[in-house]
Amino acid sequence: MSEHNEHHELGFIRTYVFSIDHKVIGIQYAITGLLFLFFGFCLMMLMRWQLAYPGEALPLIASWFENSQMMPGGVMSPDLYNSFGAMHGTIMVFLGVVPLAVGGFGNYLVPLQIGAPDMAFPKLNAASYWSYFVGGVVMLCSFFLPGGPAQSGWTSYPPLSILASTGQTAWLIGMVFLITSSLLGSINIIVTIVQLRAKGLSFFRMPFLVWAQFVTSFLLVLAFPPLEAAAVFQLMDRVAGTSFFMPSGLVVGGMPLQVAGGGNPVLWQHLFWFLAHPEVYVLILPALGIVTEIIANNTRKPLYGYKTMVYSVLFLGFMSFIVWAHHMFMTGMGTTMSNFFQTTTMIISIPSVILITCLIITLWGGSIRFNLPMMFALAFLPMFAIGGLTGLPLGLATSDIYLHDTYYVIGHFHYVVAPGTLFALFAGIYYWYPKVTGRMMNNLLGKLHFWISFLAINGIFMPMFIQGFAGVSRRLHTPNFYAHAQAVQGTNVFMSISAWVLGAAQLFFIINFFLSLKAGKRASDNPWDATTLEWATPTPPPHGNFLQEPVVHRGPYEYSVPGKATDYIPQQVS
């Protein structure tokens, strides 16, 4: 590849901005993703004020907006609340976690872990990042549109989304860019893994993270096109007068609506969830891959049931395509359909149980090091378990009748993606930071970050189950409007305070991130005594990654092999 030979001639812009090096693009993805996560979290902290103290003026920022339509008197209007809700969901999922997990970790680590000099298509990789960037900019700009950004939830169910203000058009355009970005990126990862593995690196010698990224990419490639098509349909419904999702005879605000009609709003839900359920695994699987790497490394023993885990993750990927309608039990589904989707939903819990069982048995007989990445990785396990378990009563159509669209659902999926996936991503950042920057992160700041986050995040999401039992609907601007919700209003105050504590705890991470860049302890090439190929490169890895082409001699987790001088044998050591 000629690109690799000319890198020293490139200027600053070509090296750090419009780079085609997978590592730079990975870092760009990760930084952009982290910024979006932070922004999305700030929206949530504002919403939590309204939820804890409904109708009271927002602190600090109220005076800036006193005369705005969205915040009369500094109090959050329902429109503003709905748009923050929609943007929080969209930003966290599509602009935060996926770009960080797949774009950031996938881009940076996959070529390194398989011993490749770069991605298979370096320029496509750059195109993928810039498509994501444009999508993100469109989403952010929608905050300045009259009427504000999208307000119909991150699910954008029509007809509400089609009747909504201009922000929804921006949302759809942004989504088309983001989906395109994910498609390009995932095709790249698949081809890279299939074509560019180092000599000797058979599929069953690949680190589990590579497997997780591989399956994730297939999910994206197969699930995103239907949503892309659906987003274009919805865009046409909004701007070109079609009615894919608009039934006949709508009367909005007392006036008959002039649309062609004949569409069906449930069609959107099928197309949306056909993506958005696999999307859940797109969020989880890279996180699971990261956790697996860290746990194998820090228990100092081989992963228990590596092959079983690989088969489970493949099966999980396959099953994720046939569970989508469990999000739609309340739309008038018949017995046969509901039985099918309940059954597949219960079946998909089995590979998840196997994965988590393998990880916990890996601890057995180990010599566990409690360093920063390991603490976050270990915390992932019970959090993911709570998230997974609470999916069961939602997957059973009968109990879903009561729990559907209550805070129970919000608690469930946040346990999967917030204390679950995000903790795993933090684990990954602490683990690979020395490889990327050449310096270690500060231990004390990291521990403060961990313990406060761990307590606070449970303080946010655990009471959501209580609210769910009490029957509090989701997406309520004034949470105590109904009698049954007044009984649990106290939990909202507790959750909001927890959320602000969690926000404050992230300052330790931010300080640590920048401070360590300058003042962190210098890291060796392999600071964790790890076995996989990325640690065989110089730190940080140069353009082209490996000084000489690596040859792989063994599986990824050869720790504590009896009779050897060190307790690990790297994959490339013959």
Q: Find the shortest distance in angstroms from Cβ 366 to other proteins.
A: 5
Question: Cβ closer to other proteins: 32 or 152?
Answer: 152
Report the distance separating Cα 295 and Cα 378, nearest Å: 8
Asked if 484 and 466 count as a contact pair (C-beta separation under 8 A), the reply is no
Count residues near other proteins (CB under 8 A): 99
Q: Interface mask (CB under 8 A) for other proteins, residues 262-281, using x and -?
A: -xxxx---------------
Report the length, in residues, of the chain: 574
Report the distance separating Cα 420 and Cα 414, nearest Å: 8
Among 8, 253, 258, 518, binds other proteins (CB under 8 A): 253
Asked if 223 and 275 count as a contact pair (C-beta separation under 8 A), the reply is yes
Looking up tokens 């705890």 gives: 505
- Is 260 among the residues that bind other proteins (CB under 8 A)? no
- Is 146 among the residues that bind other proteins (CB under 8 A)? no
- DSSP class of residue 394 equals H
- Region class of 39: left (phi > 0), else alpha (psi between -120 and 50), else beta: alpha
Question: Cβ closer to other proteins: 136 or 263?
Answer: 263
- DSSP class of residue 147 equals T
Q: Peptide bond preceding 463: is omega within 30 degrees of 0, i.e. cis?
A: no
Please classify residue 127 by burial: count the beta carbons closer than 10 Å to its beta carbon, then call 0-12 exposed, 13-18 middle and 19+ buried: middle
Give the DSSP H or E segment for 174.
helix 167-195
Q: Find the shortest distance in angstroms from Cβ 157 to other proteins.
A: 6
Question: Cβ closer to other proteins: 15 or 357?
Answer: 357
Question: Cβ closer to other proteins: 115 or 265?
Answer: 265
Among 187, 389, 452, 501, binds other proteins (CB under 8 A): 389
Angle, CA 343 vertex, CA 339 and CA 344 arms, to 5°:
120
Question: Cβ closer to other proteins: 415 or 509?
Answer: 415
Q: Find the shortest distance in angstroms from Cβ 207 to other proteins.
A: 18
Question: Cβ closer to other proteins: 26 or 366?
Answer: 366
Q: Report the site for other proteins in 452-511 (rule: CB under 8 A).
A: 466, 469-471, 473-478, 481-484, 486-488
Report the distance separating Cα 119 and Cα 22, nearest Å: 6
Query: Which span (101-109, 259-267, 435-443, 523-531) binds other proteins, by CB under 8 A?
Result: 259-267
- Is 300 among the residues that bind other proteins (CB under 8 A)? yes
- DSSP class of residue 537 equals S
Asked if 442 and 546 count as a contact pair (C-beta separation under 8 A), the reply is no
Query: Which span (352-360, 424-432, 520-528, 545-553) binds other proteins, by CB under 8 A?
Result: 352-360
| CA terminus-to-terminus distance, the chain | 27
- Is 160 among the residues that bind other proteins (CB under 8 A)? yes
**Separation in Å, CA 369 to CA 109, 210, 295, 372, 374:** 23, 24, 9, 9, 7
- Is 549 among the residues that bind other proteins (CB under 8 A)? no
Among 10, 187, 363, 493, binds other proteins (CB under 8 A): 363
Main-chain phi, psi angles of 290, to 5 degrees: -60, -50
Among 28, 107, 299, 492, binds other proteins (CB under 8 A): 299
Give the DSSP H or E segment for 484.
helix 483-486
- Is 72 among the residues that bind other proteins (CB under 8 A)? no
Q: Which two tokens stand for residue 70?
A: 């969205």
Q: Find the shortest distance in angstroms from Cβ 482 to other proteins.
A: 5
Q: Find the shortest distance in angstroms from Cβ 352 to other proteins.
A: 11
Q: Find the shortest distance in angstroms from Cβ 356 to other proteins.
A: 8
Report the distance separating Cα 478 and Cα 150, nearest Å: 19
Give the residue among 287, 267, 159, 123 at the shortest CA–CA distance from 213: 287
Query: Which span (153-161, 450-458, 530-538, 548-556) binds other proteins, by CB under 8 A?
Result: 153-161
Among 68, 195, 248, 443, binds other proteins (CB under 8 A): 248
Among 5, 367, 524, 566, binds other proteins (CB under 8 A): 367
Q: Where are the beta strands (DSSP E) in 166-314?
A: 251-252, 255-256
Query: Which span (40-48, 79-87, 423-431, 453-461) binds other proteins, by CB under 8 A?
Result: 79-87
- Is 288 among the residues that bind other proteins (CB under 8 A)? no
Q: Find the shortest distance in angstroms from Cβ 280 to other proteins.
A: 19
Q: Report the site for other proteins in 313-342 (rule: CB under 8 A).
A: 330-335, 338-339, 342
- Is 93 among the residues that bind other proteins (CB under 8 A)? no
- Is 153 among the residues that bind other proteins (CB under 8 A)? yes
Q: Find the shortest distance in angstroms from Cβ 180 to other proteins.
A: 27
Report the distance separating Cα 509 and Cα 503, nearest Å: 10
Among 42, 191, 396, 501, binds other proteins (CB under 8 A): 396
- Is 390 among the residues that bind other proteins (CB under 8 A)? yes
Q: What burial letters (b/e) apply to 466-504, b meaning 16+ CB within 10 Å?
A: bbbebbbbbebbebbeeeebeebbebbeebbebbebbbe
Query: Which span (1-9, 34-42, 231-239, 375-383) binds other proteins, by CB under 8 A?
Result: 375-383
- DSSP class of residue 261 equals -
Report the distance separating Cα 224 and Cα 504, nearest Å: 35
Query: Which span (119-127, 216-224, 274-282, 400-408) binds other proteins, by CB under 8 A?
Result: 400-408
- Is 251 among the residues that bind other proteins (CB under 8 A)? yes
DSSP characters for 455-519? HHHHHHHHHHHHHHHHTPBSS-SSTTSSHHHHTTHHHHHHHHHHHHHHHHHHHHHHHHHHHHHHH
